[in-house]
Amino acid sequence: MFYKRPGAVFDYPFKTMWRHLRTYKWVAVMFYLKNKAYKRAMLEIPRPADEIDLSKPYVYFPLHYQPEMTTTGLGGKYMDQMLAIERIARMIPSDWTIYVKENPLQFFEFRGDWFFERLKALPNVKVTPVDMDTYTLIRNSQFVATVTGTAGWEAVTGGKNVVVFGKAWYATFPGVFQYRESLDPYQVAANVIDHEALEKAVSRLISRTGEGVIDANFLAISKHKNSFDKQKNKQAIAQSLKKIIAHQDAAIKAATQPDNTYVEADLVRL
């Protein structure tokens, strides 16, 4: 994605703070000091370095960038990602590990002192280098765990199961397990994803979506950016909203009927 340039890692060095000092005054200083403390805390977490063994059973948990809707809006109580990691740590066998990878664009927001204290308190959790290849970690894991992250989508399309904690857009797809206390990690790991069934599930979801660009930033990566028509896009968005609202109204009405056959999974899609 355009906001995830290869090798991009957030930093706020002293020279940047000095450049911003005249405009942002004390805010720049606060930002610099908090980010420095965050970097120091990250360095204090024991790195597995030579201990990373992809042949031994582990769960991969890539951290979300925060704050964003993916956790704050769609994660519910699991906007606290450490809570999700603690749940996974309690669920898996004692000889399994959780490999946690920080989001390279993350800064001090939502990574306070207690975040690191709780992370260090879990003996079966290790933090990987931020530049470690995510696809390698996905491919060799028992399964992937995330709140609503793209890594879950990347996992199932590659044949790897995923446990989600929030309202992920792909939550009802084959190979996706919604977290619950009774979830069996061996069952999750052993599940075989039917790729044809996955393609059909994706097609059904796409058929319910609308057309239109609602974030101009995404035009930067579109092959149609040179022929983009703002007026037609407005009309497309309006029609799409009408379609989605009509479908939602029909779904809710069907779900409230005494003889409804509507399942909870269909409401999750909405």
pLDDT given at position 220: 73
> What was the pLDDT predicted at 198?
97
Alpha helices, DSSP H only, in the chain? 14-24, 26-44, 69-72, 81-91, 113-120, 134-140, 150-157, 185-190, 195-208, 230-255, 264-269
pLDDT tens digits, 222-234: 777 788 888 999 9
Mean pLDDT over each residue of the chain, to the nearest integer: 86
pLDDT band at 46 (very low <50, low <70, confident <90, very high): low
Closest CA to 102 of 9, 5, 4, 6: 9
Whole-angstrom Cα distance, residue 67 to residue 270? 23
- Nearest Cα to Cα of residue 235 among 213, 215, 205: 213
What angle, 0 to 180 degrees and rounded to 10, lies between the N-to-C axes of helices 26-44 and 113-120? 0
pLDDT tens-digit series, residues 100-124: 998 887 877 778 778 888 988 998 8
Question: What local confidence, expressed as pLDDT, does residue 110 receive?
Answer: 78
pLDDT in tens, 143-202: 999 999 999 999 999 999 999 999 999 999 999 999 999 999 999 999 999 999 999 999
pTM of the model: 0.80
Band (pLDDT 50/70/90 cuts) for residue 270 is very low
Tokens 């929030």 map to which residue?
Answer: 166
Q: List beta partners, residue 162.
A: 144, 176
Distances (CA, A) of 135 to 20, 62, 147, 151, 188: 37, 11, 18, 9, 19
Distance CA 9, CA 206 (A): 33
**Residue 225 confidence (pLDDT):** 75
What distance in Å separates the CA atoms of residue 25 and residue 130, rounded to the nearest whole number?
31
> Distance between CA 136 and CA 138 in Å, rounded?
5
Tell me the domains of the chain and their CATH numbers.
Answer: 45-201 (3.40.50.2000), 209-269 (no CATH)
Across 61-86, average pLDDT? 94
203-252: pLDDT as tens digits: 999 888 888 888 877 777 777 778 888 899 999 999 999 988 888 888 78
Which residues fall within 8 angstroms of residue 267, CB to CB, at 6 or more apart? 251, 252, 255
Distance CA 88, CA 183 (A): 10
